[in-house]
C-alpha cells in the first residue's frame, strides 16, 4: 500500500494549483484539471466557457 501513497504524492507535486492562464494560485485549479483537463482556475474557466478560443 505504500506504493499507492507514493504515487499520490507524486501527482500532488504536479498539482501546484498554479493557473496556466493567469499564473495565480487557486485551489480550484487542480479540480478543474481533473474535471476539464485544463489547468486553469475557476475564473479563467468561466471566461473560457463564455469566450471559447
Please identify, among the stretches 7-15, 22-30, 31-39, the one whose residues bind Zn ion according to the rule CB under 5 A: 22-30
Longest dimension (CA), the chain: 44
Stretch that binds Zn ion, among 2-10, 30-38, 44-52 (CB under 5 A): 44-52
Grid cell 474557466 is found at 45
45 contacts Zn ion (rule: CB under 5 A): no
Task: Quote the CA–CA distance of 4 and 24 in Å, as a whole number.
Answer: 30
- Quote the radius of gyration of the chain (alpha carbons, Å): 13
Among 19, 30, 32, 39, contact with Zn ion (rule: CB under 5 A):
19
In the complex, the residues that contact Zn ion under the rule CB under 5 A are 19, 21-22, 41, 44
Amino acid at each position: 500500500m505504500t506504493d499507492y501513497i507514493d504515487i499520490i504524492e507524486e501527482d500532488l507535486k504536479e498539482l501546484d494549483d498554479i493557473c496556466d492562464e493567469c499564473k495565480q494560485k487557486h485551489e480550484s485549479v487542480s479540480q478543474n484539471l481533473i474535471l476539464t483537463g485544463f489547468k486553469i482556475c475557476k475564473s479563467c474557466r468561466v471566461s473560457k466557457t463564455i469566450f471559447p478560443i
